[in-house]
Structure 1
Amino acid sequence: MESRADVTRGHLLADALEIARSLERLDLGAAVAERLAEAGVPGSTGGPVDLVGVGKAAPELVRAARRALRARVGRVLTIAEAPGEGVVVGDHPRPGTRSLAAGARLLDFLEAGSASALTLFLVSGGASSLAVAPVAPVAVEDLAALFDAATARGVDVVALNRLRAAVSWLGGGAVLERVRTAASLALVLVDVVVGGAPWVASALTYDYRPDDAEVAELLEAVGLTGSPLAARVREAAATRRAALGPPGGHANLVLLEPGDWRAAAHEAARRLGYDVVDLGSALGVSPERLVAAVAGALERPSDRPVCVLGVGETTPELGDAPGRGGRCQEWCALVAPVLARARGPALALGFASDGRDHERGVGGAWSDDTTVARARSRGLDLAGALARHDTHELHAALGQLLEGGHTGWNLCDLYLVVAGPSTPSAQKSPPT
């Protein structure tokens, strides 16, 4: 497409939404079929296969596996966040009593007798909370407290998932000891930008047995050193280590990962006529660092529209009493002053691939070079909302929320900025 020299804010929002919708171009069913073929699991011949789907995208993954395996499908267990036929619902993002019940269902399912020769795990993000089986003396309330401590400090999800796995009869490969079929295979939809597939679902099907020193390091990272909870975590981790046998034969394959969405978004932006500044698919950084990267990219003179994009999950330090909002909402508010200083029209958008930016019904948000002025004219305190980590109402008042809902995906968040040409000769008309 020809590059637009007269980009307006209306164009920018439409383009940003189209770039975000590049997620819909990914084919989950094809990915499942390809990985099964790669693993030597044909859909037309062979014995029955038990399916275990766990995570936000579990229903979609199970449906894709059913289509690929057809008559070979044996027993099926689906654990997810959204209710549906045959779905065991767990709690998310903080584990609760439903998560305990889901964890017990998973262990019972695996330990029951089966005529199948293979157990196929279909794993996606969110499983760490949706199904839990903590090692005593750690309780489900303790797991919720670990989540709260990690989010308060802005600790990345890998550190949190390592702690979760250290005290779990599911995570860190512990669940594989309950498998009764002759073989097991996991297909993993990756939502972890630092560390990748092994840390999805707290290393559900990957072996992980941290020693005392590593557990102590993790507890320090979340600010719990010396607490009663830390003592329970250390005891549970030691109990788990002593109880686990040697790792058995098991295979893991990656289905799709954040880089696949990034590549699709990059191509969509290029097709729309943008010069693309690609920040990659490992944005496990503070939102402030991401804003700085965007600011640097926008300072470069360009006679063409520019799109700065990346995929990942920012790590804001929320403190003990954050308000309402989500990663995408907070980032869009934080980048607004940078957009206000842009040489021409500029717009930021953040969207969660699973369709939920923490708040139900909200998929993300946007902001543009007028956000700061519009907030001021309405008496809205942008700086105060950011300080309180309470940006939801600000975006709602400015009409900057993006509608959300279950998407069937979980490939992190897309962060992007689209801007008109920044060189004077290219700015043919004023922004409208």
Structure 2
Amino acid sequence: MTAEKDILLALFEAALAAALPDGKFAGRLPPPPKGRTLVLGAGKAAARMARAFEEAWAGPCAGLVITRYGHACPTRFVEVVEAAHPVPDAAGRDATRRILELAREAGPDDLVVCLISGGASALLTAPAQGLDLADKQALNAALLTSGAPISIMNKVRKAVSAVKGGRLAAAIHPARVVTYLISDVPGDDPAVIGSGPTVADATDPDSVLAELARYFIPVSPALAAAIRANRMPQALPRSEVHVIATPLMALETAATRARAMGLTPLILGDAIEGEARDVGIAFAGIARAAATHGMPARPPCVLLSGGETTVTVKGGEQGGGRGGRNTEFLLALTAALGGAPGICALACDTDGIDGTEDNAGAWSDSRTLERARAAGQDVAAALARHDAHGVFAALGQLVTTGPTLTNVNDFRAILVQERNRGFRP
């Protein structure tokens, strides 16, 4: 293990710690209700959020949250159900039905606490009238390979859901609703996080259909009719929202850790979007400028960024690869750097899962291309078929954390050392 890799992993670990819900309910709790306290929620962080809420809440509570398979943790009062992500399954559908039943049972003296984090859009699944689970599965699969940004994906998901876009809060009425969010979306918009199940959204159905056409996603007459008929609820009373963890919080904590290590941190942004390989190439140029000209930061420095890039699998491409967006970003960056000395990088998803594999992401340094050639790995061909995972797996450069029980989306760190000498903390 190199010192450079140690530095990058330490920054990633600092970011993950800042993204956990532990201790973040203090000062944000509502007064106890006259009636019951019911906890409902979904997302990759939902189980950890439920446990943290239980620890902070003085009175009794009960409820149900849905998380991704493998992302559960022990809770005392709130039931945790695991389901599929990113394409929903029957377990998520059935658990969502139970959540809606609990929501409709809440009375005016009850308090309903909703815990929502990234992943809720797939996990909290209740098809709109006229659609079934197979329709939603097909639509989700098409969205995931379309290249559409997360904001557009969630816009579409709300339009075909009986629970998203404020519909969960409508089911809870007249009980009081307090929502706690961990953001995984650029801009931290509560209406976009988890597709906003407790945040009213009056998106026009025609604009949703236009987005589907823009990304060449087929729309059947039944799907179009369901979208047009599935009107959003009006403004929701007795509802408040708190965002308790964001990508920027994670990046700022990593920056603080970097300063303590003698590095100059520069946060390039917490809402970076675009094709993963294109962003990788652009960031390679920024890293080269820092190494050569001391701009936009003077070495030793670390360039930090977050957000959510996309990987578009086009019909003319070979496809079939296993790489997620973070490994694709990193392989494109590594190729563009061409083995430039003194630059190493890490790109990981903060939920611990990049794409569909079991790694969070990967790391690279100035010797990665040389190692790849020696191992018989064709980097250009791997990028063409979206198989960055295969390259980094062959080199032993994957980063594997297991489920982190949080999710503030992508974390990228590019370490630029002083020229002609390595940096040691």
**TM-score over 0.5 for the pair:** yes
Kept after mapping to 2: 8 A contact 1:125/1:190: yes
The two structures have a TM-score, normalised by structure 2, of 0.89
1:84 is displaced (CA, Å) by 5.2
Kept after mapping to 1: 8 A contact 2:280/2:332: no
Q: 1:317 aligns with which of 312, 321, 326?
A: 312
Aligned to 1:60: 48
User: Higher mean Cα deviation, 73-82 or 126-135?
Assistant: 73-82
**Distance change >3 Å, CA 428–CA 74, structure 1 → 2:** closer
**Distance change >3 Å, CA 252–CA 28, structure 1 → 2:** same
2: CA distance, partners of 1:194 / 1:245? 23
Aligned to 2:142: 149
1:49 is displaced (CA, Å) by 1.5
Aligned to 1:260: 249
**Distance change >3 Å, CA 195–CA 218, structure 1 → 2:** farther
Aligned to 2:279: 289
| AA in 2 matched with 1:22 | A
1:232 is displaced (CA, Å) by 2.7
2: CA distance, partners of 1:10 / 1:246? 54
1: CA distance, partners of 2:7 / 2:106? 53
Residues 380-402 of structure 1: per-residue CA shift (max 9 Å, x gap): 11111110001212111111101
| AA in 1 matched with 2:10 | E
Aligned to 1:6: none
Aligned to 1:49: 37
- Give the fraction of aligned pairs with identical amino acids, expressed as a percent: 28
1:206 is displaced (CA, Å) by 1.0
1:251 is displaced (CA, Å) by 1.4
Q: 1:305 aligns with which of 300, 306, 322?
A: 300
Kept after mapping to 1: 8 A contact 2:348/2:412: yes
| AA in 2 matched with 1:316 | V
Aligned to 2:67: 80
Kept after mapping to 2: 8 A contact 1:294/1:308: no
1:430 is displaced (CA, Å) by 12
Unaligned runs of 5+ in 2: none
Kept after mapping to 2: 8 A contact 1:50/1:120: yes
Aligned to 1:4: none
| AA in 1 matched with 2:46 | A
Aligned to 1:333: 331
2: CA distance, partners of 1:250 / 1:429? 53
1:202 is displaced (CA, Å) by 1.0
User: Higher mean Cα deviation, 24-33 or 203-212?
Assistant: 24-33
**Distance change >3 Å, CA 246–CA 18, structure 1 → 2:** closer
Kept after mapping to 1: 8 A contact 2:182/2:243: yes
2: CA distance, partners of 1:308 / 1:246? 41
1:378 is displaced (CA, Å) by 1.8
1:116 is displaced (CA, Å) by 5.5
Aligned to 2:261: 272
Kept after mapping to 2: 8 A contact 1:155/1:221: no
Q: 1:191 aligns with which of 177, 184, 193?
A: 184
The two structures have a TM-score, normalised by structure 1, of 0.88
1: CA distance, partners of 2:12 / 2:182? 19
The structure with the largest helix share of the pair is 1
- Give every structure 1 segment of 4 or more consecutive aligned residues whose post-TM-superposition deviation is greater than 4 Å: 113-116, 243-246, 428-431
Q: 1:168 aligns with which of 129, 143, 161?
A: 161
1:63 is displaced (CA, Å) by 1.0
1: CA distance, partners of 2:9 / 2:86? 26
2: CA distance, partners of 1:137 / 1:322? 33
Count of equivalent residues: 408
2: CA distance, partners of 1:70 / 1:52? 17
